[in-house]
Structure 1
Amino acid sequence: MSRIFILIPFIFFSCAGASDKKTVQNDQPITRSEEIATVKDYSCTELLTALVRSSNALAFESFNKSEVQARITSRTSDKLTIELYTIAISDRTGSEREMENTVGWLEFFSPGNKLMDITHDPDNPKELKYDKSILEGHNLLELCNVVATPGRPAQQREWSDVMLEKDIRFNGKLGRYFTLTEFKNNFGKPDSVKWLKDEAPCFTIFDTEAPDDTYIYKDGSRFETSKDSVAVDEFWFKNGNFITYKGIRIDASTTMEEIQRLFPTAVKGRLGLDKEGTLWVIKLREDDTGISDGHIKLFFKNDKVYFMHWWFPC
């Protein structure tokens, strides 16, 4: 009887231990990587950003992971080249505006799903560690359309929606280019004026480099001038200013849901950045063929349209 008495608590203890172990495993919180891996409908940008932010990329030695954005700059059948960059909102010119800063370069190879950091020395890249569970059940290169589908432009991207300037009217009247007289008639007197030569932008709209070219500012918006010509660079939806796009009014009360009806693919691939909470930005191609390297960025604050900017690489 004594032998039976000894075995019974041992068996009970063993079963209880197994039960406790199972309970602990089931109660463990789901990680962000596991959450991403279970999502079935997301964009190339969302998967790429999750992968990059789970890595030990050199950029994260200087920047918080939440600040760093990722985009694909070139593709082959088995490799993606990825630019890491930050987006900041600066008010050094007297009004808020976005500024981009490249902070790193990566390469992702589909054979072996290797992620390499080429920021400091492309000839001697550093192989990065990352959470490989993010890619479970997903093919990054296929999702990001590495190989162009027949009949589709080679430049097709996840933000492939187009916003043509010919379809835009500022305050319902002006196209992107107009005269100084038209500016005064529609916007009034500028809030401030700065010489382009003092601002030294890396890219100008008129590309004249004339000494008397200026930026003029009104209600946060920035316009470039050359002699009597004016062009919109940034447009802020403040003080009742608005645009019409193909006759549809877009103003400070327009929601992201309403914009999604116009640009569903771009909204799906939207990017987030921090500034007094979260601003969202969508990118729109500015031509039908994909020839232009530039695009239009449309920013949102509190789920409402905030400002737009014509962006072009230096």
Structure 2
Amino acid sequence: MNRQVIVILHSPKLTCQSDRCHKLEAFAAVPTTATTTTTDIAWRSLLSRCRRRFKQTANDQRQQKQQQHRRDETSETSLVAVVRYLIPCSLAAKRLHPAADTPLNLGAERKLILRNTRISRHHMAPEIALHLITQECSIYHQPIGEDFCFRTEPFWGFFWPGGQALTRFILDNKQLFAGKRVLDVGCGCGASAIAARLIGANAATANDIDPTALQAALLNAELNSVDLEISSRNLIGQPCDDFDVVLIGDLFYDAEIASVLSPWLAQLAAKRKNIYIGDPGRHGLTEKRLWNMTQLARYRLPPDVCIENNGFSHASVWEFKSNS
């Protein structure tokens, strides 16, 4: 016997709350008052359509809010705005092209790093102390212009979520790295290379085409009483025969850099290199690219890291595998 169900939708305006706590009006296409008589099957179908409509409306309005927020933040041209929104594109470009050839006064640069950072263990790998640009630093809020104290954006001053997950994974999996020769590509602050040395890697090389990043990595290594080798060469695309392990922390920012990294990593994997990637879900790691990867760990990010990184809530560590 079919059971008749009377469905009454009476909601002046249904709302939901986005991850940015903006109220989003939903069911825009559904009449505010409707009365329908239907069977259980039709009722489930109606609910399914309503849910799909709700999700689509919420997603569309969330994207609009985020785009407007991005425009507002970018217009401030402060370092915090660059950190939250501009870094994905500009970092990809910076890591793919050589830095300026102007000579760097290493002593002065090290002093500049120390003056504009704070020592922090407030991250997913508190065993490691790092010189980081935090909200307590005046440079964090300083507008970026011609008089900015560093000649390039200080990406090395932030411990990115993918890098945090990768560093945590290294510290928790000593057996994978002890006795190995490790290369940290696009090292930034150098935390992953430092972690490798702390758990017994024979050698670790911090690689970044930004010479200031390499000085920051060396300062962080000294802070943790480990020795690091450094390299300013653009090693992406190179055979890297001197290394057993390659670390990629938060470099898959977009399709452009991913299209360069993926074939190179495939070549290294074919030579039996161990490749570990830390990533919070960037656009460059598409579903197709994940076919060559095995997820080894997934971490929940601390609340402050979520806020500073556009709402990412988790970061994963992947192992890149050869197709053969």
- Alignment TM-score, normalising by the size of structure 2: 0.25
Indicate the structure with greater helix content: 2
Indicate the structure with greater strand content: 1
Bigger CA radius of gyration: 1
